[in-house]
Amino acid sequence: MDYSKNELLVLLYLYKRKSANMTEISEYICAPLNTATGVVGRLEKKNMVERLRGSEDRRVVNIVLTPAALAFIAEEKELFGFYFRELYNALTDEEKGCALNIINKVMTVLKKGKSGENPPVEAAKRVKRINIE
């Protein structure tokens, strides 16, 4: 694969959300807006995303996946599924139980974060629309 970590994160985010603006992408990849713009620009050159301007307000730009990106993601999901099934079939029942316990512990630690506490649930962010006459 010829994609950086940030490019893959953007592709996965858009796959889940279907569409996002640059601010949302920037916040998701924890990078400044100019970095996110560069990442989206590289993905656009690779024909993986496209920028769509809003019909009511041309200043609003949404980033969406192209059909090529959807095909790429489907292909990678299939490949990941194949290797996951192969690995699963190679493990004994005892090894599967141990692996599940380890994964659960890792998920618990990651959810707690640096503070050692469960993070608070954030309210959904809203975009304020300004109508221009």
User: CATH number for the domain including 47?
Assistant: 1.10.10.10
Whether residue 86 lies inside any domain: the answer is yes
Tokens of 126: 């809203």
pLDDT at 124: 59
Q: Which domain holds residue 18?
A: 5-112
Whether residue 56 lies inside any domain: the answer is yes
Q: How far apart are CA 81 and CA 97, in angstroms?
A: 19
pLDDT at 123: 57
Whether residue 99 lies inside any domain: the answer is yes
Q: Which residues contact 63 (CB under 8 A, 6 or more apart)?
A: 10, 14, 19, 20, 21, 22, 25, 40, 49, 50, 51, 52
The string of pLDDT tens digits covering residues 15-63 is: 999 999 999 999 999 999 999 999 999 999 999 999 998 888 788 889 9
pTM attached to this predicted model: 0.69
Whether residue 39 lies inside any domain: the answer is yes
The total number of structural domains in the chain stands at: 1
The string of pLDDT tens digits covering residues 64-96 is: 999 999 999 999 999 999 999 999 999 999 999
Q: How far apart are CA 68 and CA 1, in angstroms?
A: 14
